[in-house]
């Protein structure tokens, strides 16, 4: 019988990146007692056992063939142990192989969810991270110098604060607004999140910690707004920093041109935040309200699309988009929800017929955020429009369900979803399923949400947890500057890796992932592989939403 140990496996050898020490794949975070529980076994065997800490078999079952799974290249069998509800720590044993340790517990997702939320604290810019909150990952204040406007060097601004966006130290308004929206809607949808104490400097001040952390980013976005309501697209150095600690990145900070996407997203997120913070800080809520009004006025006065692309001499993130219709749609929806003013409702109706994805939940396509606001929170809404939006989410959920049903692993990910940041797609698909179940009052998609959460935590073709700090076999070497520069072997917990990318886009990834590798296996836990293993705030945020659903016991 397999005996549980506390041994932790990291991918330390680049020549063997992606080779799991386990031959059987489970959600390494664990399962709630009454949840669906499926194990993936990528080899021939007829049966499996669940083994407890004493090495005793406590459950046994037959496996079911799922056939050949093209996205993983596996001939897969699965086993269902949903009937096992007793709390404890276990492994799966089958065919002489074992899984990583997992637990069954009402609190199985408490620590992973807390880690994914605290990841935002570890990405704070401006202030230092104190040992009493950050432990060994403490560091000094960073990026507090004056920023200069790239296009007019006589214009300067103090824009400290916010979150480092990704593996680099840039800060980008559209990405930040998207991440905030995921977190705010998680707060509004799952009140149980208020119970999660995050050990951040503001803890205990009477405001839920998720909102305390979000305020750090909001205050920065307010600084990025000009007096006329325009919003600078980003603040970064001219070039990405080398792999140094944030306080050692002392190059000049630059402000970059206003974009209509940044303005619209600022109007939207400030409107959303204004109503959320009203019970906790009326003065801050009013500041956000006025900022939303100001940026919306800029949109009215500037109806044409104002794109963004990096000027010559800058190589930091661009976050360019092809249109701003979904952004303006989101701004109109949030302003209507906040104010009830028919002017914004008319704008929303006018934009409704424009061509964009009304279920999009990413920074480059925020139509789904507008739809979510209108469906769930708009008073005096047009019922015919709500019916269309409900149908949009239901139809997209049905499409994703069909994708999952064709997947050997049961995950709603097609071959095309395995791109740069594929784990964002997995978590956004989980959000769409959750929204569909909420608006229909059912639980039709609960098993599909569970499989996507399982996938992120190790129920995948590599058997790896894509969240640092969770699981025996997990990502530990993300493309994240402080995680490499701090010299600490164990990575900062709670960081969601980008995940498999069927078309690796960087030299290290191309060297480590052989041509012809199945999409679900196109991954390497290596610091150089930014197209596989970077982190970003808007990959963590949809994961928070999905795991908040699990944490709330809605499955």
Q: What positions carry a catalytic annotation?
A: 168, 479, 525, 534
* Best CA proximity match to 221, nearest among 283, 188, 267, 256: 267
Tokens of 217: 């980013």
Q: Is 459 helix (H, G, I), strand (E, B) or coil?
A: coil
C-alpha torsion sign, points 24, 25, 31, 35: negative
Question: 462 near 20, Cβ under 8 Å?
Answer: yes
DSSP 435-462: HHHHHHT--TTHHHHHHHHHHHTT-STT
Q: Is 418 exposed, middle or buried (0-12, 13-18, 19+ CB in 10 A)?
A: buried
What is the distance between the alpha carbons of residues 276 and 421, in angstroms, rounded to a whole number? Answer: 29
What is the distance between the alpha carbons of residues 304 and 300, in angstroms, rounded to a whole number? Answer: 9
Containing 483, the helix (H) or strand (E) segment is helix 481-485
C-alpha torsion sign, points 279, 282, 284, 287: positive
Residue carrying the six token digits 């498999």: 500
Backbone angles phi, psi at 24, to 5 degrees: -130, 140
Rg of the chain taking only CA atoms, in angstroms? 23
């Amino acid at each position: 019988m397999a005996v549980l140990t506390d041994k932790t496996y990291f991918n330390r050898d680049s020549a063997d990146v992606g080779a799991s020490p386990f031959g059987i794949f489970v959600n390494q975070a664990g399962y709630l007692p009454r949840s669906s529980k499926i194990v993936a076994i990528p080899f021939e065997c007829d049966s499996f056992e669940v083994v407890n800490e004493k090495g005793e078999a406590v459950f046994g079952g037959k496996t079911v063939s799922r056939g050949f799974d093209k996205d993983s290249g596996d001939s897969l069998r699965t086993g269902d142990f949903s009937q096992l509800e007793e709390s404890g720590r276990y492994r799966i044993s089958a065919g002489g192989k074992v899984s990583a340790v997992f637990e069954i517990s009402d609190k199985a997702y408490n620590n992973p969810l807390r880690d994914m939320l605290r990841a935002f604290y570890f990405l704070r810019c401006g202030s230092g991270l104190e040992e009493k909150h950050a432990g060994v990952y403490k560091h000094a204040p960073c990026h507090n110098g004056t920023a200069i406007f790239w296009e007019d060097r006589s214009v300067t601004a103090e824009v400290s604060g916010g979150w480092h966006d990704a593996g680099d130290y840039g800060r980008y308004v559209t990405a930040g607004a998207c991440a905030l929206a995921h977190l705010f809607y998680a707060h509004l949808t799952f009140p149980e999140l208020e119970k999660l104490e995050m050990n951040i400097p503001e803890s205990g001040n009477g405001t839920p910690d998720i909102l305390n952390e979000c305020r750090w980013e909001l205050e920065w976005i307010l600084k990025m707004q000009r007096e006329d309501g325009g919003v600078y697209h980003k603040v970064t150095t001219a070039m990405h920093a080398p792999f140094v600690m944030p306080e050692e990145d002392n190059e000049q900070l630059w402000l970059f041109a206003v974009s209509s996407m940044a303005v619209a997203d600022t109007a939207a997120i400030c409107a959303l935040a204004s109503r959320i913070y009203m019970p906790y800080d009326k003065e801050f809520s009013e500041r956000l309200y006025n900022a939303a009004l100001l940026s919306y006025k800029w949109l009215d006065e500037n109806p044409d699309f104002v794109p963004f692309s990096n000027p010559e001499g800058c190589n930091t993130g661009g976050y360019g988009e092809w249109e701003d219709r979904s952004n303006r749609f989101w701004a109109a929806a949030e302003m209507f929800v906040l104010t009830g003013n028919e002017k914004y409702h008319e704008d929303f109706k006018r934009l409704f017929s424009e061509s964009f994805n009304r279920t999009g939940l990413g920074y480059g396509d925020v139509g789904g955020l507008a739809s979510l606001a209108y469906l769930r929170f708009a008073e005096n809404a047009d019922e015919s429009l709500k019916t269309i939006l409900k149908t949009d989410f239901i139809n997209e959920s049905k499409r994703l369900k069909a994708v999952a049903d064709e997947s050997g692993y049961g995950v709603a990910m097609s071959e095309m979803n395995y791109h740069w940041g594929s784990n964002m797609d997995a978590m956004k698909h989980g959000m769409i399923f959750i929204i569909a179940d909420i608006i229909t009052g059912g639980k039709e998609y609960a098993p599909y949400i569970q499989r996507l959460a399982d996938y992120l935590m190790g129920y995948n073709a590599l058997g790896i947890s894509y969240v640092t700090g969770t699981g025996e076999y997990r990502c530990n070497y993300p493309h994240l500057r402080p995680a490499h520069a701090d010299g600490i072997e164990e990575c900062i917990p709670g960081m969601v890796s980008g995940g498999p990318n069927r078309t690796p886009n960087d030299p290290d990834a191309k060297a480590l992932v052989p041509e012809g590798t199945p999409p679900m296996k196109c991954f390497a836990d290596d610091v150089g592989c930014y197209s596989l293993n970077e982190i970003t705030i808007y990959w963590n945020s949809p994961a928070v939403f999905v795991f908040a659903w699990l944490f709330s016991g809605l499955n």
